[in-house]
Structure 1
Amino acid sequence: MEEDSSPPVSTHTMDVDALQKLIHLLQATDDPLIQEQALITLSNSAAFSVNQDVIRNLDGLSVIGGMLSNCVPKVKEKALNALNNLSMNIKNQEEIQVFITQVCRTVESAPLNSDVQLAGLRLLTNMSVTSDYHQKMINSIPCFLHLLSEGTERTQIQVLKVLVNLSANPAMTVHLLRAQVPSMVLLFDSCVNRDILVRALVFAANLKKNMNDEEGIVIEEYNEDSVFFTLCRDSAPFAQRLASLLHHPDTEVKEQVVRILTQ
Structure 2
Amino acid sequence: MGERRGAVVRAAAAGLLLGAAACYCLWRRAAGGGRRRGPPAVEEKSPPESPHTMDADALQKLIHLLQATDDPLIQEQALITVSNSAAFSVNQDMIRNLDGLSVIGGMLSGCVPKVTEKALNALNNLSMNIKNQEEIQVYIEQVCKNVESAPLNSDLQLAGLRLLTNMSVTSDYHHKMINKIPCLLRVLSEGSERTQIQVLKVLVNLSANPAMTRHFLRAQVPSLLLLFDNRINRDILLRALVLAANLKKNANNEGGSMIQDQYSEDSVFSILCRDSTPFAQKLASLLHHPDPEVKEQVVRILTQ
Alignment correspondent of 2:18: none
1:17 is displaced (CA, Å) by 0.8
SS in 2 for 1:112: coil
Tell me: higher relative CO, structure 1 or 2? Use CA pairs within 8 A at least 6 residues apart: 1
Query: CA 1:5–1:44 in structure 2 vs 1: closer, same or farther (change >3 Å)?
Result: farther
Give the equivalent residue in structure 1 for 2:213: 173
Residues 234-253 of structure 1: pairs in structure 2 closer than 5 A: 235-253=276-294
Name the CA shift for 1:239/1:201 in 2 (closer, same or farther; >3 Å).
Answer: same
Name the amino acid aligned to 1:253: V
Partner of 1:160: 200
Q: Percent identity?
A: 83
Q: Is 1:190 matched up with 2:230? A: yes
- Please report the TM-score for the alignment, with normalisation by the length of structure 1: 0.95
Q: Which amino acid is 1:120 matched to?
A: G
Aligned-pair CA distance for 1:234: 5.2
1:224 corresponds to 2:265: yes
Counterpart residue identity of residue 81, structure 1: N
Answer whether contact 1:40 1:78 (CA < 8 A) is retained. yes
Match of 2:146 among 106, 109, 123: 106
Q: Calculate the TM-score normalised by the size of structure 2.
A: 0.82
Can you give the 5+ residue segments of structure 2 that lack an aligned partner in the other structure? Answer: 1-40
SS of equivalent to 2:258:
coil
Distance change in 2, residues 1:108/1:155 (3 Å): same
Q: 1:73 to 1:4 in 2, by over 3 A?
A: farther
Q: Does 1:208 align with 2:248?
A: yes
C-alpha displacement of 1:220: 4.1
Shift of 1:233: 2.2
CA distance in 1, matches of 2:170, 2:92: 19
How many corresponding residue pairs? 259
Greater than 3 Å deviation, 4+ residue runs: 3-7
- Show the 5 A alignment for 1:1-263: 2=42, 13-215=53-255, 216-233=257-274, 235-263=276-304
2-structure distance, mates of 1:80, 1:144: 17
Structure 2 counterpart SS, 1:143: helix
CA distance in 2 between counterparts of 1:128 and 1:74 reads: 24
CA deviation profile, 1:141-199 (whole Å, cap 9, x unmatched): 00001011111111111110000000000000000111111121110001000010000
